Amino acid sequence: MNAEVVNRPNPYHCHTNGIIHRLMNPTANESPCGWNTSASFGMWSGLVLLAAFNVTGCAGYQGTVAGMNEKLRTGNLQEAVAAINEAMDVQTADDLPERLGGDAGLMLAERGMLKLAARDYIGASKDFRVADSSLEVLDLTTDVAGNIGRYLFSDDSGVYVAPAIEKVLLNTMNMLSFLCVGDLESSRVEARRAKIIQSFLDQDELECCSLNGLTSYLSGIVYEWSNRPDDALRFYGEALRLSVFPSLERPVQRLSKLSGYRTPEINEILSRNPLYGADNIEEAEILVVVMGGRVPHREAERLPIGLALTYAATSGRHRMSDSQREQANLLAARGALTWVNFPSLQPTSSPYPDPVVLVDGSPVSQELAVDVSSKITNSFERIRPVAIIAAITRAVARIVAGIGTDQATQKGSGNKGLAALLGLAIQGALTAADTPDTRSWVTLPEKIWVSRTRLPAGRVELTLRASGAPHAVSETITLNLTNGEFHTVVYYPIR
């Protein structure tokens, strides 16, 4: 005998329809499914609130790279690479993500830095090149407030929009990777790309954040080693304007015999020293680039509304409108607006001590090329007041949406309790959706130093050392130098 088929109502639909039924019939005790709506309402109200407020527990990008950071703290580069591979859902360090949207490009930049630290220069350049093609740059030349709002409140789901300094350093790190394998042509391409990015920036952003001694210094070396003295001197002149590089005096003096390009900094060098002739072809040159520490990373925090409004008032030419400020102050006075979500910068590692470089036991002077942490901080602080305005206006919109839900629900149902509940749920859900974007390039070093040494051909031992806990590390590299050759070595004991 065939079993009797019983049509039972779908439990999910019954509970949902029960809530809706009670909205339309506030005095009813049963739903269309015959179930008690009082119990259903109580259960669903709890679930709505739970869903609305627990969404904010998402760890964002910092949670995504937590495995990588944990491995780096123990100095295990290979396991750190494996962790970022897992985050990208790829099997090996040579694999690329199937899709390059979202934060895939940023994670490739992270992996590229790990490969650079491991001296896998070809692998690093591959990751940097793909990352460069998939990252967008924050545009501060038009619609500043709108662009910053989308940049800092994209909920970690859109394509990562990099601040200009990160984009410039991405090209710089790729240029360095190509230098390490002697590929001057590709290095020149990256030098030009970095310069193109800088050419689109406004002067304030350029001087404050994106121009840096390292990019200019390395670009000059690339063109010097490519026998293009005019271009080399242009970049060296820029590097000397940005920082102090005693190691550039001899190259500038020699190149000035081959080019008439001058800057005040170049003229100063020439005024106190004679012009050098060609370098000794019986020598080789070593460029050492030492990186240390880690840049600060972003974390989401709640900023009290009073403090936020104070910061917003100092934003210069970008200010809240009178109506926006009045609305925010009114909501704050009524206790409806008490804080705003906002990203902040937090230190990733302790300060890194100055490095020591020894060539056959003799110390070589290290020159600070760029304080990356300061550049990142300056870039962030420059947009901070405008970003706070974006946070306030979005918080106001969230609360207004909640108030609108409260009024509409009361009108439709006559149930003030349910109206308050749903209004609160809407506000909570929008709060969760308004989470600041905490993505940033976290494997960038805090500081970068450079040194140049000319030596006779032959075998040489290069000792690289950083003292002081927790960065007490040392490494010795043996190089076999050939007359007229150039060698580039990167040392990045990333933690």
Percentage of the chain modeled with pLDDT above 90: 44
Who has greater pLDDT, 34 or 316? 316
Strand segments, DSSP code E, in 268-376 are 283-292, 297-304, 339-346, 356-359, 362-364, 367-371
pTM (predicted TM-score): 0.78
Confidence of residue 17 (pLDDT cuts 50, 70, 90): very low
Calpha distance 106→114 (Å, rounded): 13
Q: What is the mean pLDDT of residues 66-78?
A: 91
**Distant-in-sequence, close-in-space partners of 408: CB < 8 Å, separation ≥ 6:** none
Q: What is the mean pLDDT of residues 343-350?
A: 82
Radius of gyration of the chain (CA): 29
Please state the length of the chain: 495
Q: Which residue has the tokens 């308004």?
A: 434
Calpha distance 378→392 (Å, rounded): 22
**DSSP calls for 8-67:** PPPHHHHHHHHHHHHHH-TT--B-TTS-BHHHHHHHHHHHHHHHHHHGGG--HHHHHTHH
The tens digit of pLDDT for each residue in 96-140 reads 998 887 789 999 999 999 999 999 999 999 999 999 988 876 544
8 Å CB contact between 72 and 495: yes
How many C-beta atoms lie closer than 10 Å to residue 89's C-beta?
Answer: 11
Whether the pLDDT of residue 150 is over 60: the answer is: no
Calpha distance 98→112 (Å, rounded): 17
How are strands ordered across the β-sheet holding 458-466?
362-364, 356-359, 458-466, 473-481
Who has greater pLDDT, 391 or 369? 369
Query: Which neighbouring-strand residues pair with 340?
Result: 303
Position 218 scores a pLDDT of: 98
Confidence of residue 375 (pLDDT cuts 50, 70, 90): very high
Q: What is the mean pLDDT of residues 208-226?
A: 92
Calpha distance 422→431 (Å, rounded): 14
Greatest mean pLDDT among 263-277, 378-392, 444-458 lies in 444-458
Residue 477's Cβ-count burial label (10 Å; 0-12, 13-18, 19+) is middle
- Which tokens hold the place of 408? 């509409």
Whether the pLDDT of residue 42 is over 70: the answer is: no
Q: What is the mean pLDDT of residues 439-465?
A: 93
Calpha distance 40→417 (Å, rounded): 15
Confidence of residue 6 (pLDDT cuts 50, 70, 90): very low
Q: Which residue has the tokens 């302790």?
A: 350
Position 412 scores a pLDDT of: 52
- Which tokens hold the place of 472? 């007490």
Check residue 333 and give left, alpha or beta (phi > 0: left; psi -120 to 50: alpha).
alpha
Backbone angles phi, psi at 350, to 5 degrees: -70, 160
Position 203 scores a pLDDT of: 72
Calpha distance 264→243 (Å, rounded): 14
Whether the pLDDT of residue 331 is over 70: the answer is: yes
Comparing 10-14, 206-210, 360-364, 389-393, which segment has the lowest mean pLDDT? 10-14
Position 315 scores a pLDDT of: 61
